[in-house]
Structure 1
Amino acid sequence: MLTSTQAVQNSALFADVIRERRSVRHYDKSIRLSHEEIKELLKEATLAPSSSNVQPWRFLVIETEELKAKLQPIAYNQSQVTEAAAVIVVLGDTEGYKKLDEVFGEAVKYGYIAEDTAKSFVERSIHTYASLPEESLHKIIHIDGGIVSQQLMLVARAHGYDTVAMGGYNAAELKQAFGIGDRYIPIMLIALGKAAQPGHQTTRLPIDDITFFNEMPVN
């Protein structure tokens, strides 16, 4: 159990992470990450929550100079694509729910959930997801993909790396160029590496202007 002092220290460290995260667009080209380092970042990122714990996110890591150069025009020639150590293509798997047996099988093995409860939940969830209209399924996947993407950016900062989320790219060209099947939905690109120039300081709207308790304002 954490002591009160440790809890305060951990809270302070987390506050540093969220305050120091910046959208970095210029990277040190000499910095590279190993596959193990990238997988560790992704492993921590995937502790994020998802609807029914489906975990529909999938990651295509683009790290070779040749493939980053191939990606750059698809991402409207943004310089961070070729400067960063890697670009993480965050995808949503429209068939991800088919792995629920595997997900909850592991939970049963570790004693997190009773076997009969897991079996009932999995059967019900698979039926629900298989019956969803495409628009509803895609909405869920985009939400889950956004959550894991934000967590990845915070995890990267906690490990001393920098990121920028990119929504500016041609999704159809991305899928064609990198052989991404129709079952996958591109969510965003995330450049990952070490900043060559710090990201710009930014401001936020006052919390009192954007928070409403119990009822919305008239205007």
Structure 2
Amino acid sequence: MSTLNQVDLNDFYTVLKERHSVRAYDPTVKIPREELKEIVELSLSAPSSSNLQPWRFLIIDEPQLKEKLLPIANNQQQVVDSAAVIAVLGDLRSYERAEEIYAEAVRIGAMTEEVKANFVERLQKGYGSMGTDRLYQISLLDAGLVSMQLMLIAKAKGYDTVPMGGYNAEQFAEAFEVPETLKPILLIAIGKAAKPAHATPRLSADRVTYFNAFQK
């Protein structure tokens, strides 16, 4: 391994070690929208089912809208003190963008037009025949993958985050006029910690890992 790669790897380990959920934020810190967009952009390399990328993001950074969100999120203070709250939603009709996605695969030479056409047809037929519950389950997994990547990227850029599942998704959808095809999955507060975050205990790999069979 080259010296440069070793340095990069050590930096990555540092991000993993130092990323903690932060609930106390410095309310004076603002994050430029271009930087928020960059964090989202970098997170989009996360994998997703059939590469359909069902994640959608609503970034809430206006103070009055964060105040509107506060009671919906069970009055968690980080909602208003953080620089922004990123709502991660799942698009239940993401398969409708298959043509757009795989046309790009053809453009970069990753597949032929014929392969693309057949693949897109199968995807649209297969996902289009799934029920809402199944599509939602798929989007839950994919949203989790992109959200974790987003939080690590934010930490690498010097920001802190906390994922929040403690909010009323139905009220959120109504208050922010979320289209019916988009389902709220989680909220991520992002900003600068007002005080150092503390590590939380984790079970060891030996406690959660098995090889080939489960112990009885």
Does TM, normalized by the shorter one, top 0.5?
A: yes
Match of 2:73 among 65, 72, 75: 75
Partner of 2:181: 183
Residue of structure 1 in register with 2:112 after alignment: 114
CA displacement at 1:166 relative to structure 2: 0.2
Q: What's the TM-score once normalised by structure 1's chain length?
A: 0.96
2:161 is the alignment partner of 1:166: no
**How many residues are paired up?**
216
SS in 2 for 1:176: helix
Alignment of 1:36-55 (within 5 A): 36-55=34-53
- Structure 2 length-normalised TM: 0.97
Say whether 1:148 aligns with 2:143.
Answer: no
Structure 1: segments with no counterpart, 5+ residues = none
Whether 1:84 aligns to 2:82 is yes
Opposite residue 43 of structure 2, the aligned amino acid is: A
- Distance in 1 (alpha carbons) for counterparts of 2:55 and 2:202: 29
| Cα drift, residue 133 of structure 1 | 2.3
| Structure 2 unaligned residues grouped into runs of 5+ | none
| Post-superposition offset of 1:209 | 1.2
Letter in 1 for 2:163: A
Deviation at 1:134, TM superposition (A): 2.2
Percent sequence identity is 48
Secondary structure, counterpart of 1:70 in structure 2: helix
Q: CA deviation at 1:206?
A: 1.5
Matched residue type, 1:87? V
Distance 2:139 2:204 in 1: 30
Deviations 1:56-87 (CA, angstroms, capped at 9, x unpaired): 00000100110000000000000000000000
CA RMSD of aligned residues (A): 1.0
Q: CA–CA distance in 2 between the matches of 1:69 and 1:135? A: 31
User: In structure 2, what is the equivalent of residue 27 of structure 1?
Assistant: 25
Residue identity in the other structure for 1:206 = S
Runs of 4+ residues deviating >4 angstroms: none
Query: 1:25: Cα distance to partner?
Result: 0.4
Please name the residue that 2:62 is paired with.
Answer: 64
